[in-house]
Structure formats: C-alpha cells, structure tokens
Amino acid sequence: MTTPPPPGTREWRAAVAALHAGLDQAHYGSIEQVPTATNRFAFPLEWSNLRAAITGKGRRLMEHTVSPTFHRARFRKRHPTQERLFGLFFLGEATARARVSKALDSIPDAPALEELVELGILADQERRLRSTLRFVPLGGDLFVTDPPDRSIPGFTYLGRDSAVLSDLLRSALRGRSFERALDLCCGCGVQALAVSHHAGSVEGSDINPRAVAFAELNAKLNGKAPSVSFRVADLASGAAPPFDLIVANPPYVWMPDSERAANLDGFGGAFGLEIVGKILAELDCLLAPHGEAHLVAESPVLDGTPLLPRIAAEFLGETNIGASLAPLWYSVHRHRAAFQRRGGSSYNIYYHLVASRDLPPGIRIQDLRWPSRLAYGTYVRMAARAFAKPRGKRVPNPGASP
Ligand SMILES: C[S@@+](CC[C@H](N)C(=O)[O-])C[C@H]1O[C@@H](n2cnc3c(N)ncnc32)[C@H](O)[C@@H]1O
C-alpha cells in the first residue's frame, strides 16, 4: 500500500481537511468506542478495560476488547451509517467500493471517492478500498496518523498508551493553566493537543520528520495551529527552557537491538529506559521553578524490584525535583517475554511519573489497591507461564502498540 507523505500536496491537504471536517460534523470525533480485535492478547488486566470488554461501554478507543464481533454488531445497530466509514478510516478495514461511495454521501462536503483514490488517501485493492490514513478520535479532537503498520517508512505511532497519557493529562490539568508547555517525542501530536487547552503555547518535538508533519497537520485540522508548534529534534535539543509543563510518552519498550530500526517509536534502549533516563536527566535544566512534568513509561521488574524508581532516583537525586510514581498496570509482552526473562525480568510495571520542584525531594512510589495488585499478580504469573511455551509461528506486531 502506498502512503502519501504528509504534508502532501495542496490538493492532498485540502481533501484531508474536507474529509476531517465532514467526519467531525457527522460526529465521528465524539465516538471513542470502536470495538476491534487488534492486539487482544496483549490487553492488560485493567478494570476499565475489562468493564469495556464486557459491556462494550468505555471512554476508550477499544483496541483491547475480548469480544469484538459482539460489540461490533452492537455498534452497527447504534450507528448504522457511521459503522461503514469506521471500518474504513478508523479500523483500517478493506471496504467494498459501493459501500464506501454510499457512506461518503452521508458526510457533509466529503471529497468524491475518485478524488480520494487519485490522491492516494484511499488505495484500490481488488474492488475494495483501504485507507492510507487512520483517523482517531481522542479527547474531543480527531487525529490523523498512519495505519498500524510498521512497514510504512517513518511510521507514525498512535496507540493505547497515547490515549492513556492524554486522559491522565486531561484529568491532572483540569482547571489549571500554564504558560509554556513542551511535548517530547510528540508523535502525531496527541499530547501536545491535549495540553494545548491548558497552556498559552505548546512546543512539540520528535526525531521522526513524518511524525512532525502529522503533528502539524493535526494542529491545523483541529484548529490549534497558532499556539502549538512542532519541530524535528532529538528530545529537547534546540528547545529554549524554562517550560512550565513537560509531557512525554517516549519509547520505553525493552526489546532486542535488532528490532530498533523497525520500531523507533517503541525502542527504549537498555532495559527500555534509556530515553526515559535522558529525559529525567534533562528535567533540571528544562523545568521552570514551579514547573511540572508528566511521563508514562514501562519498567521491567528485576529481581522483584522495578527499575524505573531507581533510575528516577539516580537522575533526580542531585536536584531539588521530587517525583511520584503511580503504577497503572502490570504487563507481560507476549513476543518479548523470553527475551526479557533472559535479561532478568518476567513482567513489567507501567507507571505515570509526575515530577516537580513543588513535590518534596525524593521518589515516592504509590501502590495499586490490593484487589488490583492481586489481580495483576495473578495475571502476570499466568501470562509469563503461557508466553514461555513455544508457539508456532511468531505473529508480528503490526504497530498497534509498541
Ligand atoms: C511511543 S511514541 C509516542 C508518540 C506520542 N507522544 C503519543 O503519545 O502518541 C514515541 C515517539 O518518540 C519518538 N522518538 C524516538 N526517539 C526519539 C528521540 N531521541 N527524540 C525525539 N523523539 C523520539 C518516536 O519517533 C515516536 O514518535
């Protein structure tokens, strides 16, 4: 499938803008329940996820439901017209030409089907059509990014963790305002746009030029362009501190070096925490006196001890910045379980880290409530055992999560 590069031609941008506006007007942007089977084996045991999987009701783009067919049927009943375009633009499904043509008629001022094909926004596949763009509704904004396919050169990631941090930010920042915000490893701009509601200006940076082009496009499409800007950069290089708010959903997955080239969005270096460590090391220079940083990252647990708190203590220990780490879930990577176990870790803990000089110096680790701890403990034990068994062919991760 050929993928037109953003920013694309003027015609490409105009067509994407018209499609985006039409989908938004037809209320696609406000539907965050999209039942899909993607990555369902990796879904973490999380109460909101389980509830969503059972009831089909969640605030989240549901990448992790255990019963996609059932929920999809319910979804079809509730949103009969939208269902067709959801499959095409939101879930990456190949859809019959006639169905797409009919469904596009229900989108105000949508470009004609032939124009979308000509511009490469829809790719022809034996009388079926596939979208080369993926639309994702999140927090009231409608994002465009790549479909989950890491074979796309410069693949731009938007996954479950993007939604998790964006949700956390919205609740942590409610009713608060900041002057200057920085989004490190911005991807297609999800976090930058989430904090733009609370900051006078937002700067985002990513090492991947295609991600930056998507981020710029998303800021424009969602009407945030004047106060949000993006650039290609290695972490904060070239940024002019201080910043009142720093957010980052960086690459943090511990995987073999051989996967790096194909997984720039997930590859976190040694123990997955090399980039996270670099960000923490820069916080002292970057954060304004009362500034606040929010990061999400996954930490391997080595000999029963999670590594991230140790790294945070190492990099923030000499500063007057305090940090609090809230565990969100435990996980075992299905295809990396053996690799990580050889390195000394049988499961990971996913954290939300908040750092600020207004917090008492030192690292405070919060605990999960005991029912969650018990549930996750059981889950990771079972998952570690199940994933240790040799399975037939390795199923490559298409890109829905790192
Ligand atoms: C997990 S993705 C998250 C993207 C986005 N923040 C989100 O929440 O959807 C990590 C991003 O970090 C970028 N990245 C990797 N190494 C980087 C570096 N050294 N400096 C800046 N960005 C980097 C990748 O290109 C990718 O877009």
224-259 pLDDT per residue, tens: 998 999 999 999 999 999 999 999 999 999 999 999
- 265, 276, 280, 294: residue to mutate for ligand 1 pocket, most atoms within 8 A of CB: 265
Predicted pLDDT of residue 402: 54
* Whether 273 contacts 229, CB under 8 Å: no
**In this prediction, what percent of the chain has a pLDDT beyond 90?**
62
135 has pLDDT over 80: yes
Q: Which residue has the higher pLDDT, 51 or 105?
A: 105
Lowest mean pLDDT among 33-47, 100-114, 174-188: 33-47
Asked if 332 and 348 touch (Cβ cutoff 8 Å), the reply is yes
The β-bridge relationship of strands 345-356 and 322-331 is antiparallel
pLDDT, residue 163, reads 86
Over range 380-392, report the average pLDDT: 75
What's the gap in Å between 233 CA and the centre of ligand 1?
10
Per-residue tokens: 233: 């950069």
In Å, the largest CA–CA distance within the chain is 64
Would you place residue 78 in the very low, low, confident or very high pLDDT band (cuts 50, 70, 90)?
confident
Q: Which amino acid, residue 327?
A: P
Ligand 1 centre and the CA of 226: distance in Å? 23
Which of the two residues, 34 and 364, has the higher pLDDT score?
A: 364
- Res. 53 pLDDT band, cuts 50 70 90: low
Quote the crossing angle between the two packed helices 274-286 and 307-316, to the nearest 10°: 30
- Summary mean pLDDT of the chain: 87
385 or 234, higher pLDDT? 234
The pLDDT value given to residue 64 = 45
pLDDT band at 2 (very low <50, low <70, confident <90, very high): low
Please give the residue that has the higher pLDDT: either 1 or 333.
333
Q: 203: Cβ–Cβ under 8 A, 6 or more apart, which residues?
A: 180, 181, 182, 183, 192, 228, 229, 230, 231, 239, 243
**pLDDT at site 397:** 46
Q: Whose CA is nearest to atom 27 of ligand 1?
A: 187
Mutate to test the pocket of ligand 1, among 205, 206, 214, 237 (most ligand atoms within 8 A of CB): 206
Kindly indicate the confidence band of residue 61, based on its pLDDT and cuts at 50, 70 and 90.
very low
Nearest CA to ligand 1 atom 7: 162
- The Cα–Cα gap between 353 and 370 comes to 20
Buried b (16+ CB within 10 A) or exposed e, 178-213: bebbbbbbbbbbbbbbbbbbbbeebbbbbbbebbbb
Span 79-83, average pLDDT? 73
How many A from CA of 231 to the centre of ligand 1? Answer: 12
What pLDDT is stored for residue 310 in this prediction? Answer: 97
Residues 85, 28 contacting (CB under 8 angstroms): yes
Residue whose CA lies nearest to ligand 1 atom number 13: 185
pLDDT value for 54: 65
DSSP three-state, residue 82: helix
Question: What average pLDDT does the segment 152-165 reach?
Answer: 90
pLDDT band at 80 (very low <50, low <70, confident <90, very high): confident
Q: Is the pLDDT of residue 36 over 60?
A: no
Residue-level pLDDT at 315 = 97
Q: pLDDT band at residue 284, thresholds of 50, 70 and 90?
A: very high
Instruction: Read off the tokens for 304.
Output: 């029963």
pLDDT at 394: 47
Between the CA of residue 177 and those of 53, 59, 161, 253, what are the distances in Å? 35, 24, 24, 32
- Is 48 exposed, middle or buried (CB count within 10 Å of its CB: 0-12, 13-18, 19+)? exposed
Give the pLDDT confidence score for residue 41 in this predicted structure.
41
For residues 187-195, average pLDDT: 97
209-221 average pLDDT score: 97
Q: Whose CA is nearest to atom 14 of ligand 1?
A: 185
pLDDT band at residue 306 using 50, 70 and 90 as cut-offs: very high
The minimum-distance atom of ligand 1 relative to the CA of 278 is 19
Lowest-pLDDT choice from 42-46, 168-172, 252-256: 42-46
Domains contained in the chain, CATH given: 10-134 (no CATH), 141-145+152-388 (3.40.50.150)
83 pLDDT band, cuts 50/70/90, is: confident
161 C-alpha vs ligand 1 centroid, how far in Å?
12
- Does pTM surpass 0.85? yes
User: Distance between terminal CA atoms of the chain?
Assistant: 21
pLDDT of 167 > 70? The answer is: yes
Looking at residue 400, what is its pLDDT?
Answer: 45
Query: Cα 34 to chain center, whole Å?
Result: 15
Query: Residue 371, preceding bond cis, omega within 30 degrees?
Result: no
> Residue 17 in 3-state DSSP?
helix
Under DSSP, the state recorded for 87 is I
Ligand 1 pocket (Cβ < 6 Å) reads 157-158, 162, 165, 185-187, 190-191, 205-208, 211, 234-235, 249-251, 264-265, 275, 402
Handedness of CA 135, 265, 350, 92 (dihedral sign): positive
Tell me the CA–centroid distance for residue 252 and ligand 1, in Å. Answer: 9
